[in-house]
Amino acid sequence: MKEAQSWFLQAQGFDDALIARDGSNFLTGNGYLGVRGTLDPWRADRYPAITVSDTYDMADGRWRELCTVPNGLYASLHDEAGRALLDAVSPDVLTRTLDLRDGVLRHDYAPPAEDAPRITVQRFASLGDLHLVVTHLSLHAPEGGRFTLDAGIDTHVWSLNGNHFARMEPLAHDADGTALDGPLLGVACRTVERGTQIEVREGLRIDAENGATFETQALPFEGDDGRLLRRVTLDFPAGATVHVTRAFAVTTSNDVDPATDVVGDPAAAAEASVTRALEAGWDALHGAQRAAWDAFWAVSDVQIEGEDDAQCALRFGIYQNRLATPAHSDRLPIGARGLSCQAYQGAAFWDQETYNLDVFLHTHPEVARNLLTYRWRTLNGAREKAKRLGYEGAYYAWISGDDGEELCPDWFFREVITGREIRNHFNDQQIHVSPDIAVTIREYLDATGDEAFLIEHGAEIVFEVARFLASRVSWIPHRKRYEIHRVLGPDEYHEFVDDNAFTNHQARHALRFALDVRDVLKRSAPHRLAELDATLDVTPEEVDAWRHVAENLHCPEPDPATHRIEQFRDYFTLEDVRPADLKARLLDPSEYWGWPIGVAVHTQVLKQADVLQLLVQDVDTPRETLEANYAYYEPRTQHGSSLSPSVHAIAAARLGLAGDAHRYFMKSALVDLEGDFKAVSGGTFIGGVHTAACAGTWQAAVYGFGGLRVHPDRLEIDPLLPEGWTRLRYAAMRHGQRVWVTVTPDQVSVTADEANMHPVPLDVSDQRFDLAPGATQDVAGATRKSHEGGRA
Amino acid sequence: MKEAQSWFLQAQGFDDALIARDGSNFLTGNGYLGVRGTLDPWRADRYPAITVSDTYDMADGRWRELCTVPNGLYASLHDEAGRALLDAVSPDVLTRTLDLRDGVLRHDYAPPAEDAPRITVQRFASLGDLHLVVTHLSLHAPEGGRFTLDAGIDTHVWSLNGNHFARMEPLAHDADGTALDGPLLGVACRTVERGTQIEVREGLRIDAENGATFETQALPFEGDDGRLLRRVTLDFPAGATVHVTRAFAVTTSNDVDPATDVVGDPAAAAEASVTRALEAGWDALHGAQRAAWDAFWAVSDVQIEGEDDAQCALRFGIYQNRLATPAHSDRLPIGARGLSCQAYQGAAFWDQETYNLDVFLHTHPEVARNLLTYRWRTLNGAREKAKRLGYEGAYYAWISGDDGEELCPDWFFREVITGREIRNHFNDQQIHVSPDIAVTIREYLDATGDEAFLIEHGAEIVFEVARFLASRVSWIPHRKRYEIHRVLGPDEYHEFVDDNAFTNHQARHALRFALDVRDVLKRSAPHRLAELDATLDVTPEEVDAWRHVAENLHCPEPDPATHRIEQFRDYFTLEDVRPADLKARLLDPSEYWGWPIGVAVHTQVLKQADVLQLLVQDVDTPRETLEANYAYYEPRTQHGSSLSPSVHAIAAARLGLAGDAHRYFMKSALVDLEGDFKAVSGGTFIGGVHTAACAGTWQAAVYGFGGLRVHPDRLEIDPLLPEGWTRLRYAAMRHGQRVWVTVTPDQVSVTADEANMHPVPLDVSDQRFDLAPGATQDVAGATRKSHEGGRA
């Protein structure tokens, strides 16, 4: 049972206060669409949503976001007394269970009275047919009776920023809304800005047992009501059971066959998908779903023995990271809230490369490649942004949708005291996203050895990022160095800063990498290099300029005495207070802490890991540097971003501070499950799943406790187990060769996958191995002991 | 009478609502001290103040400001019924008159009843003995009677930012506060921060007529009460008159004899000053005062015939500019509020060079030299500021006191809605003050030809400013130019801007001037140049760097199509609204409009002339450029700074828009007299005389209507008279040669002063003259007609 428990997310009843959070946490999805974990009869006011990737549209003239489509899950079930059975949310009736193994969400309605009808509704978003969502309702009536099921499509959707549908037309109904005959219900939509065609089809199949009978009748459609329904009247003898399998499919005119790039007929495709599903039936569909998820978990699972809560929360993170990821496509981003809602516009932040992608680097590198190819496909958007802001090359959007255009509005939050809109500079000062992408390409190369990608796509990104950076720096004659002014680092509370350590170091990494990539291409693909140089108009003088910047860019270094790196120029002169002090200064609990008049702006309190982010990303950071900066920055960090705790967990684990590491690991793991992150900040809905934190939890487990560090020439395994953990197991990759790492308190055991082609160079506890395919190496005593020094 | 009226500021009664403003407007003073125009019996709650130059001190750990010293004017007069006669402020009793001719403030108390006593109190701050303030009280009692005069020193002073006196000891009193014998009252003070010794002495002399008698008695001093008094009991037969002449003197341990640099004994000096004055008596003292002011007005007066109000307001400006100016010293600044109160810390802003100093350039160039020498004496403060902020050379303080240290606190205003302090960047982004000073030295040279000053003091300033600018610019490789980032131009509503047109052009002017100055010194004073280069460590490479910056600094130029100059980068992309629109957005009328969340920040509304300031300072601005930018910026300017209207007046006059020019001239002239500028903004007292506006009014008259433009090689006179003005007369200077310009609607008449040594090259209406000493040239038809185009 222990093993099984650590795969389930379970709750009794449904607490209205948690409606925004639970709808996200109990998400089902597949990277194409996400279905919020709400109940079937719920309508727009309770935040149900089916959020579909690749449907960017702007309805309010300001925010371009993904569409939430008509809800084909809608169903209500009444008994003869008119009781709404699926609306029962009291804890003694309703149990909700999300099975992370196969992505099936199950709602069990079991009233205390033994003779009451028992209902189970199961739901999943298919991993095999990405357009398909299947539900299975089983109704068992010990006393028999008559029940009425109204099932179909609710066209009234919850949408954050305006109504996206210029046209939403119910099918199989005539002009006055009366239903016509036909096996499926359907809605054809066209979006308001881009005219994207979105088709929703829904059908059902009833399997009645033990003499139950049913009758189906179409209901008239009334626009004001918005529900397109059929009514099924079920007559039960005592003890009978009825199974209603429903399928609905969503397709859009943006769908392409990834193999052929062919755009199909969305209406026909949706119809076919539903028809196929209903023919196959629940058991077959569910079986295929389980097989698909099994294949995913086979390489993606990170196993923790000794702490079920940690195990379950970590799996939740891996699960959600998968749901958020459009693994099927190389044209789409991972949204900061995935497909759990429209917040943050379903678009990629730096989170995609810095957080989400690492999981795939070591489990499904082809997905990592897709994500980076997406950045290549959106180069023009980045070029346009650079040009618009007076720079050259690729200045990636802070919030990037399907075409790389900057989706981050100039005005994001509203200052709650004055009610005035805030001009945050997320979209024009957070330049580090561009070098972050370049640096991630380097990491992708280390993990996969995929030079073909570099040649085909990566090099172009890297050169355009270098070009951007060289155009963004300032040469300060009297200091004889380049500086980068007016930026916003990862710590978003401090805008308009100069020489942010993270940004400048990332920029130098990216510039150096560009020079390295030129060398690689010179050797491996000189024609491609020539072609790129010609297309991009890269001259030898320009490459010299990149080199000059790389060699002369001011990168804040550790102070020789204190080992501290100053987060940005003059940071150390700011008021030195702690987050708790600032909390006491708030005039309103929902105030934004940052720019321009938030409580943190003129203090050293930071929103999230910034210098630590830099140090943790660098596998060669000296211990004293990490130690000094962890000691300095950790107490000053508010963790106002969900990205922050995992970085702290990794840092603490590297320092041997198992208590801190575990605390931050759990903080990251529980961001969504137990966190009190606000659903609305400064008047803007920012609820939904924190996908970067989900992936960050994986990093905390694998890079932190697992001690995985990817060097250019080898993997290093330097683990630390927190108290109570008896075993940790994960997969890792180097140059496309997979290894399995098992850590116990006594030893580290590394097995090279049977399918590997080459030996894997490996450091464990200062011992170096070249691990042949299929081979296993055990190193006793390689698991570090907790070293709780000054901090715990 | 018309002529005389235009010399008087007069008011009936004293309106409590205007207490802050009238106390400033009715100021008497002499550049060493200022005496607010309050009534003699008033105490600290009604803002009397004697503000003394060169007494910088910090009492609150935050603001260094001038001290207000014990009030030696204090007097109260009671009749037998106990009525406080000097407290009468009703308009039918009290008439207040400030005579601008001699700086005498007169309070006449004339109750309606014919038999009531009549009192006149006159007061002036001596222009001959800067430490001395003299009052003369005449009491005439038609019915006779007994009166009690309590006169002496009130030690309880109004001080903006803390009590500056660590010690304040009444003299001639024994330990229990009982008065001892002695002719004078006195207080010895020591300031809290710097320990400056400040001595105040007061004495009186009574001349009784027609049989009046008096008796004097010292009163005990009580610390809580704070008044150090003597009581004079006056017995009057009917129709008698008594004259009480009082003198008080303030001296400090900072006083130096400007000729000898000797610091005297302040106590002895104060005593001697009072004793001398009492011996001389009122008539002699007043005669000397009038003679001193006559000499001032002989060259300083700008005469307007045809509009008495304009004439009077202009003279008020010239008067106040003189009161604010420490003409006697080359060690002291002109405060933004002069000596009218402690606001703005009695310290110099860019106003000093850009506004106040021009008057002296053309009337008392030796005062202009003193002011510039003050900048030389404070070079070390400017060097320290540069160093502290990471630059080189001289980065002049935004608010500069006696030693050039930056007095502008980081936190200036308080945001009124949230109550949070605002981190304005007046002190670290308003870099234009440094080039402004350098450019003013160039103007000083044009007016005076004083190469000796350049060699002795000016060149060092100019080189250090060039060095600062070269260290402050950024070279942007991909634009192949220098830019100046993160500045605050004259328009203070927009902080953190890049390439502010005013700042960059001024910087280029200053750099080019530095190169010119090197050429001048190479020719005229090669040894001094060598000495300076050695002392300052200026190398040929550094001079090349200055040249490179001067040649490659991006200076926003007029758009070829619209002729508009963008105030700073992307200014034109800001919301385009008008000041009235913003006023409607205010949540609180006392909100600061600027940084960080004021209503103007994200709009094109500007606080004050910025591009226009630049264009007006340049005597060669093409008409179409001035026209286009006046048309664009004028409606967007809020005139939240009192510096703004005069610039608009000059621009409008140049454009021939006599109506606009007159309106802005009067707006500048009436800033203090009728303006509604707040005495308190964002919780900070900023009341007092707007000395820059006072001097700006002179500029509007002389540079605007008078059409005076100083070219390097000549003076140009291109006047325009507004409707109703029949004559305008002013003095001007070129290379130390004075000319007198008289403008009438029909002709311009220029007379070279008899005392001149050289002819003055002169352009009037496209005619060029070399005007010999004593010669007069009349040019008929040279006065432009109003050209009210699209705007009026």
The dihedral over CA atoms of A17, A18, A21, A25, expressed in degrees to the nearest 10, equals: -170
Interface touch A391/B478, C-beta < 8 Å: yes
Interface test with A, best of B498, B597, B601 (most A CBs within 10 A): B597
Angle CA A683–A688–A692, to nearest 5? 110
pLDDT value of position A1: 39
Which of A475, A596, A602 minimises the CB distance to B477? A475
Q: Vertex A672, ends A670 and A674: CA angle to 5°?
A: 55
Displacement of CA B694 from its chain's centroid (Å) = 7
Chain A: residues touching B (Cβ < 8 Å)? 390-392, 415, 417-420, 422-423, 470-471, 473-479, 483, 485-486, 496, 545, 549, 587, 595-597, 601-602
pLDDT > 80? residue A182: no
To the query of whether residue B492 is one of the catalytic residues in this protein, the response is: yes
What's the pLDDT tens digit per position in B267-305?
A: 999 999 999 999 999 999 999 999 999 999 999 999 999
Q: Are strands B760-764 and B714-717 parallel, antiparallel or unpaired?
A: parallel
Share of chain A above pLDDT 70, in %: 97
Terminal C-alpha separation, chain A:
33
Report how far residue A510's alpha carbon sits from residue A472's, in angstroms, rounded to the nearest whole number.
13
Name, in order, each residue with C-beta under 8 angstroms of B720's C-beta and a sequence gap of 6 or more. B653, B656, B658, B661, B704, B705, B707, B783, B784, B785, B786
Q: What mean pLDDT comes out for the span B733-745?
A: 96
- Which of these is catalytic: A271, A353, A460, A492? A492
Contact state of B474 with A474 under an 8 Å Cβ cutoff: yes
Query: C-alpha B42: how far from its chain's center?
Result: 25
Name the token pair of A736.
């496309």
Q: How big is chain B by its Cα radius of gyration, in Å?
A: 27
Provide mean pLDDT across the span A277-287.
97
One of B199, B492, B566, B634 is an active-site residue; which one?
B492
Helix, strand or coil for residue A213?
strand
Question: Which helix or strand (DSSP H or E) is residue B523 part of?
Answer: helix B501-524
**CA-based nearest residue to B699, from B792, B612, B788:** B612
Distance CA A379, CA A396 (A): 8
- The residue among B171 and B151 whose pLDDT is bigger is B151
How many Cβ pairs closer than 8 A exist between chain A and B?
Answer: 67
Task: Please state, in angstroms and rounded to a whole number, the distance separating the CA atoms of residues A501 and A614.
Answer: 8
Q: Which of A685-689, B70-74, B449-453, B776-780 has the lowest mean pLDDT?
A: A685-689
Q: What is the pLDDT of residue A31?
A: 98
pLDDT reading at B677 higher than 80: no
What is the Cα B511 distance to its own chain's centre?
Answer: 28
In chain B, the percentage of residues whose pLDDT exceeds 70 is 97
Q: What does residue B242 show for φ and ψ, rounded to 5 degrees?
A: -125, 140
Which of A81-85, A151-155, A743-747, B170-174 is predicted least confidently?
Answer: B170-174
Chain B nearest CA to A477, separation (Å): 7
pLDDT in tens, B614-649: 999 999 999 999 999 999 999 999 999 999 999 999
pLDDT at B599 over 50: yes
Burial B636-674 (b: 16+ CB within 10 A, else e): bbbbbbbbbbbbbbbbbbbbbbbebbbbbbbbbbbbbbe
Residue B439 above 60 pLDDT?
yes
DSSP string, B573-620: GSB---HHHHHHH-SSTT--SSTTT-TTTTBS-BSS-SHHHHHHH-TT
Kindly identify which residue of chain A lies nearest to residue B414, measuring between CA atoms: A597
Q: What is the pLDDT of residues A657-707, one digit of tens each?
A: 999 999 999 999 999 998 777 777 666 777 899 999 999 999 999 999 999
Confidence label for A790 from pLDDT (cuts 50, 70 and 90): very low
Note the pLDDT tens digit of each residue in A519-552: 999 999 999 999 999 999 999 999 999 999 999 9
Is the CB of A392 less than 8 angstroms away from the CB of B478? yes
Q: Which of A354-363, A654-663, B680-689 has the lowest mean pLDDT?
A: B680-689
Q: In this predicted model, which residue has the larger pLDDT, A462 or A174?
A: A462
Give the minimum alpha-carbon distance from A478 to chain B in angstroms, rounded to a whole number. 5
pLDDT at residue A789 greater than cutoff 50: no
Smallest CA–CA separation between B570 and chain A, in Å?
A: 10
pLDDT of the residue at B787: 66
pLDDT above 70 (res B125): yes
Provide mean pLDDT across the span A612-629: 97
Residues in Cβ contact with A367 at an 8 Å cutoff, skipping those fewer than 6 apart: A325, A327, A360
Reply yes or no on whether the pLDDT at B173 is more than 70. Answer: no
Which residue on chain B is closest to A483 by alpha carbon? B474
ipTM confidence:
0.85
Q: So what's the pLDDT on residue A788?
A: 60
pLDDT in tens, B341-375: 999 999 999 999 999 999 999 999 999 999 999 99
Higher pLDDT, A789 or B549: B549
pLDDT confidence tier of residue B790, bands split at 50, 70 and 90: very low
Please answer whether residues A338 and A693 qualify as being in contact, where contact means their C-beta atoms are separated by less than 8 angstroms: no
Longest dimension (CA), chain A: 91
Tokens of B735: 């290379």
Q: Give all strands (DSSP E) within A303-348, no chain letters.
A: 303-305
β partners of residue A205: A245
What are the residues of chain B with a beta carbon less than 8 Å away from any beta carbon of chain A?
Answer: 390-392, 415, 417-420, 422-423, 470-471, 473-479, 483, 485-486, 496, 545, 549, 587, 595-597, 601-602
**pLDDT mean across residues, chain A:** 94
Lowest mean pLDDT among A2-11, A565-574, A708-717: A2-11
Q: How confident is the model at residue B1 (pLDDT cuts 50, 70, 90)?
A: very low
Q: What pLDDT was estimated at residue A179? A: 60
pTM, rounded to two decimals = 0.91
| Interface contact flag, A475 B476, Cβ < 8 Å | yes
Tokens of B669: 């002239």
Could you give the CA distance from residue A683 to residue A685 in angstroms, rounded to a whole number? 7
Q: What pLDDT is stored for residue B788 in this prediction?
A: 59
